[in-house]
Structure 1
Amino acid sequence: MKNAWHLRLAAGTVAIAVVGGIGAYAATHTTAETAAAWDAAWSAAPQLPSIGFEPNWAQTGFDNQTVRQVVRVTDGGTAARITLSNLYGNGPLRIDHATIARTAQGAGVESNTLRDLTFQGDTVAKIPAGQALTSDTAGLQLAPLESVTVTLYLAGPTGPATFHSQAYASTYRTGGNHVADPAASSFTEATHSWYYLTDIQVSGPSAHHGGTVVAFGDSITDGFGSTNDANTRYPDRLFQRLTDAGTPRPVLNEGIGGNLILNDSQWFGESAVKRFERDVLSKPDVDSVIVLGGLNDIGFSEIDLPTYKPNPQVSVAQLIAGHRELIAAAHRAGVKITGATLLPMKGAEYYDDTSAAKIRDLNTWMRTSGEYDAVVDFNAAVADPSDSEKLNPAFDSGDHKHPNNAGYQAMADRIDLGKL
């Protein structure tokens, strides 16, 4: 893919600005770092600090605490680097010490793989508000499907923390500086969100350097209803399918629970059309994106709850226009874009005659217009055979809107790998 991001990267630009979110979002690299060939191995979309659906540490932030985060990569290499985001910070962010290591179990790491991370040669990372910073290279052997642990020590008060709310993975915390501690015993607190960490990239002979697939959408892409720490979201299952087929490619999950196609939300991130450049097209070597979105635009307008705001009535024509913006942006960047039909949700709080009709109409456009390069019919993959408006009970997480682990597998199985 030869978009503007890659051209600037190849030119050795020191500060790279990505349009999207609040103001300019800059990911800073050294010139030497930009000269290396890097591939995306894992990513998560940053969000404004908020309460979320379960307790998290985003609004209070950190002070003399160590945060340990575990993620599973979808590409391997002999070197790694991370990106930390202060996009929603209310002031500069200081990371006093950071390490990366292969994961042992839970909050434990393999001690012989612990590597200090530096940032432009300094062990301290200083990230202005509204920006991001990428670390220097750390020599670390990683394989696809391996878990990697990033640990951050924050000596002073950070203020509210840029985070990813619904990680469906455990993040651990303890007091004091424990970044170099391989044991899990000190890390007695946990949440299911990620903090500051938005990207892990790999380099080396085994890295793919091309063909990255991005799954882009809302909570169904994010993995709501999947088992924590089990990596059973549909993008996880898709990567496993690609691997089993002998055609492994990195798969990034850029879902945000509650995300809307057309409107920004305090809880659920910038709109899909606004964050598409930052969260999809700016990633290295993206060739393909799967878009699943619109259910919240339709559903929020049918109920009146504080968290489901903004909730204006949104027409199918307006949603189609939003999807067309995503299609055009992908095509300008030379990226293949696949549209996904919305899932059925009869019995969910969103469901009524109006929302049901909008889902049917949007799905009909998706299937028949030919505007997306390809279409994956997730609706058909998980619908109840006896009632197409409902999730198949075998695939229902319990809220009649989000799939369970089996449902996410059915979604991944529906994707034609040859059309990605």
Structure 2
Amino acid sequence: MVAAATVGALLVSTAHGGRQDDAQDGRATSSATDTQQSAATYPGRVGAWESAMSAGGPSFHDQTVRMVVHTSIGGSGLRIRVSDLRSDRPLTVGAADVAEQYDGGRAVAGTHHRVTFGGSRSTTVAAGREEYSDVIPMRVAADQNLLVSLYLSGTTGPSTFHREAYETTYVSTDGVDHAADDSAAGYARTRTSWYYLSGLDVVAPTAHATVVAFGDSITDGYHSTAGANRRWPDQLARRLASAPGGQRLGVTDAGIAGNRLLTTAPEIYRGPSGVQRFDHDALGEPGVKDVILLEGVNDLSNDLNSAGGPLTARNLIDGYRTLIARGHADGVRMIGATILPYSRLSPAMNAVREQVNQWIRSSGAFDAVVDFDRAVRDPSNPDALAPAYDSGDHLHPNDAGMLAMADAVDLSVLVS
């Protein structure tokens, strides 16, 4: 293990199997396309939180953005990952700070930690790149809220962001660095997205690996209670934290609302397809050893394959096989999740869903299977969510449904 005091910004590969090293300052960077890093690059580090990034967020000008980050696992020696991955101009971060949340946008006094990048309190991240901070000498617990504040100097242009945070973000308006403020008085506006912040990792006392939940709005937590961290990956992390002997896995959430497995959604904020972003958003997480893959319902809803023609079960299966092969090439276990019922699918697309789910359950292509479909469907109407789990739109589970999904994961199939 690399000692926490000496672990700074390390290498991140810029293509599958390639590496990029900035010899000038040792900063970690990654390209916008097909980025992947081996878990061996970050010995002892596990993912505590992730935000999969899209393009087209609002522009900022000399403003401080304070975001709430919820840890899936406890540990020490934090690092944050600042992302300009989906932007077309460099990002200048004039200051960055991490503190414990008191409530809302208020920090617990005395818990602030100024963040540095290659020893500097400011940094400029090139367009299409990311940068890891130096190690932050701070301890956190599992299931804890932190405030990560970025002072964005200059004009950013359209931001790299995660639209559906289901959390409140606090934004200043006066062109002053408020990153280290205890009070939220300097933050005059609120939003519900995360900006330029794509990850937080730690050295954990009992864990040595990360499980990545990869998917669409269901994994992203759409219609779960905002600010309560009741997405199914959050609930899975709580189950792991309560396991005897200490938590052995961090959990990160790589869901993006509207995401499709095979094609890029036309709305710019919804990000590239699952096949396009998998290497970066899943295999790029520090310590990743398991990926739970839940994608496909948005492909079914739009009845569209990657060639622009009608969607078939074979199209989705081929997409899954592509990701399985990529995961296995990196020594990552791939866990297939069955597609949840959606009563508004056409009969033809629901038949495709059933074919695909049967393949997920029986083909043996995945290392293990989580049957989310059976966990949340209505026993009297298997093509629909159970009423007790339906948020009201017949697609997204409510908090109870999210918990039922987390409970459906057999913890014994995850890397121990």
- The code of the aligned residue for 2:328 comes to H
Residues 15-414 of structure 1 mapped to structure 2, 5 A cutoff: 18=30, 21-22=32-33, 37-49=44-56, 58-59=57-58, 61-175=59-173, 176-203=176-203, 206-246=204-244, 248=247, 249-265=249-265, 266-301=268-303, 312-346=309-343, 348=344, 351-414=345-408
Tell me the equivalent position of 1:305: none
- Cα drift, residue 191 of structure 1: 1.5
Rounded Cα–Cα distance in structure 2 between residues aligned with 1:209 and 1:200: 15
Rounded Cα–Cα distance in structure 1 between residues aligned with 2:250 and 2:209: 7
Give deviations 1:257-308, integer Å, cap 9, x for gaps. 1111111233321111121110111211111110001111111138xxxxxx
Identity %: 39
- Cα drift, residue 184 of structure 1: 2.1
Give deviations 1:335-371, integer Å, cap 9, x for gaps. 111101111111x3xx211121111111111111111
On the 8 A contact 1:170/1:229 being kept in 2, the answer is: yes
Q: Which runs of 4+ in 1 moved over 6 A?
A: 6-9
Measured at CA, do residues 115 and 36 of structure 1 come closer, stay the same or move farther in structure 2, by a change above 3 Å?
A: farther
Unaligned runs of 5+ in 2: 1-11
- The code of the aligned residue for 1:121 comes to G
Tell me the equivalent position of 1:30: none
Tell me the equivalent position of 2:5: none
- Cα drift, residue 77 of structure 1: 2.3
Unaligned runs of 5+ in 1: 28-33, 50-57, 303-308
Rounded Cα–Cα distance in structure 2 between residues aligned with 1:84 and 1:16: 10
Rounded Cα–Cα distance in structure 1 between residues aligned with 2:287 and 2:214: 16
On the 8 A contact 1:96/1:155 being kept in 2, the answer is: yes
* SS of structure 2 residue aligned to 1:155: strand
Rounded Cα–Cα distance in structure 2 between residues aligned with 1:311 and 1:103: 47
Rounded Cα–Cα distance in structure 2 between residues aligned with 1:224 and 1:79: 31
Give deviations 1:238-259, integer Å, cap 9, x for gaps. 1111122225220000011111
Rounded Cα–Cα distance in structure 2 between residues aligned with 1:268 and 1:154: 23
- The code of the aligned residue for 1:90 comes to D
For the aligned residue pairs, the C-alpha RMSD in angstroms reads: 2.5
Rounded Cα–Cα distance in structure 1 between residues aligned with 2:365 and 2:50: 27
- Cα drift, residue 75 of structure 1: 2.2
- Cα drift, residue 41 of structure 1: 1.2
* SS of structure 2 residue aligned to 1:366: helix
Measured at CA, do residues 365 and 26 of structure 1 come closer, stay the same or move farther in structure 2, by a change above 3 Å?
A: closer
On the 8 A contact 2:28/2:130 being kept in 1, the answer is: no
Q: Calculate the TM-score normalised by the size of structure 1.
A: 0.87
- Cα drift, residue 92 of structure 1: 1.0
